[in-house]
Amino acid sequence: MTPTVSGQDVPREALLRSMKRLRRLEEAIAERYPEGRMRCPVHLSIGQEAVSAAVGLALHPEDLAVSGHRAHTHYLAKGGSMPRLVAEIYGKQSGCSRGKGGSMHLVDEAAGFKGSTAIVGGTIPVGTGLGLSLATRGSPQVACVFFGDAAVEEGVFFESVNFAAIRRLPVLYLCENNFYSVYSPLRVRQPEGRRIHEMVAGLGLSAAYGDGNDPELVYQMTGDALASIRSGAGPVFLEFTTYRYREHCGPNFDNDLGYRTEAEFLERRSADPVETYEMRLLESGVVTRESLATMDAAIAAEVADAFAFAEASPFPDRSEAFSDLYVGEDGA
């Protein structure tokens, strides 16, 4: 598949707003995490916002999505509730998973967000199963599966993609390649010269690659992929390169650990997707300094309100501890 970037019909201001919204929320999580009131580990996507924002806008509201442990931005961009997300991280009853899932286990049926899990690649077969359900019912919806580059090293990825290709299921496999699996770079995990999307294309489905720092490119490629899937052409795999700024798990920077160099980090940081796109829209006249100030103020207020909502919400009652469990009548 050849990327097509016409520059037309791209919701530029909405893209920027979504990216800034995702960035501001996760920076607030990082700032407040040391307070000790968030009840779970957090895996932040600061630096990776362009992919989430663009894919979220390209998907239809009725489409379905699943994700992995780094799911905050996927959930929000898909239409999830910011207050309910923050409340979930605080372990509160008003959270999207009623305070039982935490950061890594987000579920929101109203947003079409069917779940995220902490196991690498764990929701790939779930998303594929969603695609099978949609195909069986003749639905025009698409199932989108978000995952990182390490997930394509799991056996379940190949089983799922092979099945989806054979059955021509309406599934978008969305790989965010940030070059690291926790602290292990690609070069120690995969043979030199391998390109993930080329390997996946060999499995019999359409696959393409793009710069995940370019939200317009991501939006166009995702839109093309979704149109192809809705036409009945079968699943599509998209790989976008991106980069996380913070540690694998937690709110801090971790360049001191030595698994990546400060020079590499600074080089990637200099191409920040949010700042670069903001300048691009300023120079093209899509936004002004005044409209940006209004946008930033609205986002700051939304984030503050979300934290206030979470802080004010009650914890789940003890009687809720054993509700919503998936067990048989025999208790197994």
Q: What is the pTM of this model?
A: 0.95
From the list 219, 220, 209, 211, the residue with the least C-alpha distance to 273 is: 211
pLDDT of residue 51: 98
Q: How far apart are CA 149 and CA 241, in angstroms?
A: 9
Q: Residue written as tokens 């069917």?
A: 114
Is residue 5 over pLDDT 60?
Answer: no
- Phi and psi, residue 173, nearest 5°: -90, 115
Q: How many CA atoms lie within 13 A of 79 on its CB side?
A: 17
Structure tokens at 6: 């016409």
- Bridge partners (DSSP) listed for residue 67: 116
Per-residue confidence (pLDDT) for residue 332, from 0 to 100: 62
Distance CA 74, CA 58 (A): 12
Residues 6+ apart with CB under 8 A from 321: none
Strands 64-67 and 206-211: unpaired
Residues 6 or more apart in contact with residue 266 via CB below 8 angstroms: none
Name residues whose C-beta falls within 8 Å of residue 140's C-beta, 6 or more positions apart in sequence: 230
d(CA 6, CA 220): 8
pLDDT at 325: 77
Identify whether the C-beta of residue 36 lies closer than 8 Å to the C-beta of residue 254.
no
Tell which phi-psi region holds residue 16, choosing left (phi > 0), alpha (psi between -120 and 50) or beta. alpha
- pLDDT (0 to 100) of residue 115: 97
Look at 146 and 1; give whichever has higher pLDDT. Answer: 146
Q: Which pLDDT score is estimated for 2?
A: 39
Task: For residue range 233-286, list pLDDT tens digits in order.
Answer: 999 999 999 999 999 999 999 999 999 999 999 999 999 999 999 999 999 999
Cβ neighbours for 79, distance < 8 A, ≥ 6 positions apart? 56, 61, 111, 112, 113
